[in-house]
């Protein structure tokens, strides 16, 4: 529950269900995982404004005060950036999300039934602002809603994947918005090799072959490899790329990186630099360029790879090779162990001197997707993959992978990727960030 008791009583007094309010507020917070939110309470008597407002607290602008009126009741909370100033863009997105929450909750019985739409208007506006000149956000919203409809359909027994790019191209006289009800359009593009180009009014402007730009293994771009072609092609035409995956997710790229997603009905903003700062801060690295920092960035990218293909995994960075070996239950799981089969030792020999931040992330992702944990030391050298690690008995309510992550994080940094695509980062036995 995100409401303190007095706030829950205030909601109930005005005919609102506290559980519904808490559910919507949790979605609002999950949409901005790089920010930390306080619990929601009742504002001071002086904060009686009838509209949603978001104000910076103090000269540093690291904290925002959020005021949310709902059906005569009022809520207040603070949103804080643990890594620096909150950007103007984040303030706008938070304000729009709060306004969506207000509208959703003021209609009795609507909160649970319409929760799948929560965030659609906010992020449609945010995407429209990314283009110059700006496009109409209602067009963006309508197009995204159509793609979501495709996610629930099949074509000849197969789930549909799709790709399109919003551009600022001037519309032609004959341009018409593509109809996703048209059978030909449902399989016209897959989002991997081709995508539709839309003009600034949402009209069909063409079909483009997707081509990824040259990228080295040391790249820090945050996106799954299969999304690279769409992300890079969108950047070349000055647009915003959108992919519908066969798993039903929407992934949105700007300037070659993943910026927004909708997964499992949850809209989320990806501020990779801020998220990485939070992870670095948990280990207190020396800063960008440090070898440990490069390993953390590479691990984060591999976690994205696993999450967005929904394969799950556990990634562990140990402070040393000796500490990493202590995490493994069976010595036969260690790289190069004499207890391993001959074919495994042969593969181990090829991996022995590779480091995660200088190896193609697809290779590391495949190793990490093997049941068990992938463990590296702080220099990025591989210690084990597919390994059973010692678990924690203090978190018995969680699953085996979560217990293993908590235990491993007491020595180093653990990144747990769930099979449903969620990412949880742990350090010193505590959750650092959840995505």
Average pLDDT over residues 49-71: 83
19/93 same-domain check:
yes
283/394 same-domain check:
yes
405/277 same-domain check:
yes
Which residues are CB-contacts of 109 (< 8 A; sequence separation ≥ 6)? Answer: none
The pLDDT of residue 402: 86
147/254 same-domain check:
yes
Distance CA 270, CA 93 (A): 12
Cis omega before residue 133 (within 30°)?
Answer: yes
Longest dimension (CA), the chain: 73
149/257 same-domain check:
yes
Closest C-alpha to 373, from 364, 391, 385 = 385
Closest C-alpha to 316, from 305, 327, 329 = 327
162/259 same-domain check:
yes
E-state strands within 219-338: 240-244, 250-254, 257-263, 266-269, 313-318
The pLDDT of residue 125: 97
Distance CA 337, CA 355 (A): 18
145/106 same-domain check:
no
102/18 same-domain check:
yes
Distance CA 225, CA 245 (A): 13
pTM: predicted TM-score of the whole model, two decimal places: 0.91
In the listed set 70, 90, 117, which residue is the last one of a domain according to the structure? Answer: 117
The pLDDT of residue 366: 95
What confidence tens digit (pLDDT) does each residue in 322-378 have? 999 999 999 998 998 888 889 989 998 999 888 999 999 999 999 999 999 999 999
The CATH number that applies at residue 124 is: 3.40.1700.10
Average pLDDT over residues 158-178: 84
pLDDT band at 394 (very low <50, low <70, confident <90, very high): low
3-state helix, strand, coil in the chain (%, to 5): 35, 25, 40
In the listed set 224, 253, 269, which residue is the last one of a domain according to the structure? Answer: 269
99/29 same-domain check:
yes
Between residues 65 and 392, the one the model is more confident about: 65
Average pLDDT over residues 142-158: 87
The CATH number that applies at residue 34 is: 3.30.70
pLDDT band at 175 (very low <50, low <70, confident <90, very high): low
CA-atom Rg of the chain in angstroms: 23
Distance CA 199, CA 165 (A): 9
In the listed set 92, 117, 142, which residue is the last one of a domain according to the structure? Answer: 117
**Residues 27 and 266 sit within 8 Å (Cβ to Cβ):** yes
338/391 same-domain check:
yes
Closest C-alpha to 359, from 219, 211, 213 = 219
Closest C-alpha to 407, from 435, 385, 379, 388 = 388
Tokens of 189: 């593009």
**Residues 373 and 326 sit within 8 Å (Cβ to Cβ):** no
290/365 same-domain check:
yes
Provide the domain limits for residue 54: 5-117
**Residues 381 and 325 sit within 8 Å (Cβ to Cβ):** no
Number of domains in the chain: 3
> Is a pLDDT exceeding 90 seen at residue 180?
no
What confidence tens digit (pLDDT) does each residue in 100-139 have? 999 888 875 555 557 778 999 999 999 999 999 999 999 9
69/162 same-domain check:
no
The pLDDT of residue 222: 93
> Is a pLDDT exceeding 90 seen at residue 227?
yes
């Amino acid at each position: 529950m995100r409401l303190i008791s007095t706030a829950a009583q205030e909601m109930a007094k005005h005919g609102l269900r506290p559980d519904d309010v808490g559910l919507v507020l949790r979605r609002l917070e999950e949409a901005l995982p790089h920010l930390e939110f306080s619990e929601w309470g009742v504002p001071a008597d002086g904060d009686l404004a009838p509209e949603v407002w978001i104000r910076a607290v103090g000269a540093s602008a690291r904290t925002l005060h959020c005021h949310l009126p709902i059906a005569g009741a009022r809520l207040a909370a603070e949103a804080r950036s643990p890594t620096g100033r909150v950007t103007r863009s984040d303030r706008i997105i938070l304000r729009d999300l709060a306004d969506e929450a207000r509208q959703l909750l003021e209609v009795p019985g609507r909160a649970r039934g319409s929760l799948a739409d929560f965030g659609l208007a906010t992020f449609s506006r945010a995407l429209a602002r990314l283009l110059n000149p700006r496009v109409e956000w209602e067009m963006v919203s309508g197009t995204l809603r159509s793609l979501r409809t495709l996610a629930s359909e099949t074509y000849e027994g197969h789930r549909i994947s799709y790709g399109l790019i919003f551009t600022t191209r001037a519309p032609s006289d004959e341009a018409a918005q593509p109809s996703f009800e048209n059978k030909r359009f449902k399989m016209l593009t897959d989002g991997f090799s081709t995508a539709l180009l839309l003009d600034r009014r949402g009209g069909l402007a063409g079909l483009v072959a997707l081509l990824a730009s040259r990228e080295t293994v040391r790249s820090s771009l945050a996106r799954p490899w299969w999304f690279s072609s769409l992300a890079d092609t969108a950047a070349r035409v000055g647009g915003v790329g959108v992919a519908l995956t066969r798993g039903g997710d929407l992934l949105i790229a700007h300037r070659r990186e993943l910026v927004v997603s909708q997964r499992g009905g949850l809209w989320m903003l990806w501020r990779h630099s801020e998220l990485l700062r939070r992870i670095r801060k948990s280990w207190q690295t020396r800063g960008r360029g440090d070898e440990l920092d490069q390993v953390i960035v590479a691990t984060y990218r591999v976690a994205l790879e696993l999450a967005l293909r929904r394969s799950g995994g556990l990634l562990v960075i140990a402070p040393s090779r000796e500490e990493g070996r202590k995490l493994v239950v069976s010595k036969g799981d260690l790289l190069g162990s004499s207890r391993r089969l001959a074919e495994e030792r042969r593969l181990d020999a090829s991996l022995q001197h590779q480091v995660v931040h200088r190896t193609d992330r697809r290779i590391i992702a495949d190793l990490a997707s093997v049941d068990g944990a992938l463990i590296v030391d702080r220099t990025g050298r591989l210690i084990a993959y597919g390994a059973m690690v010692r678990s924690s008995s203090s978190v018995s309510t969680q699953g085996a992978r979560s217990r293993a992550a908590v235990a491993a994080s007491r020595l180093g940094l653990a990144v747990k990727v769930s099979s449903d695509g969620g990412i949880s980062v742990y350090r010193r036995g505590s959750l650092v960030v959840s995505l």
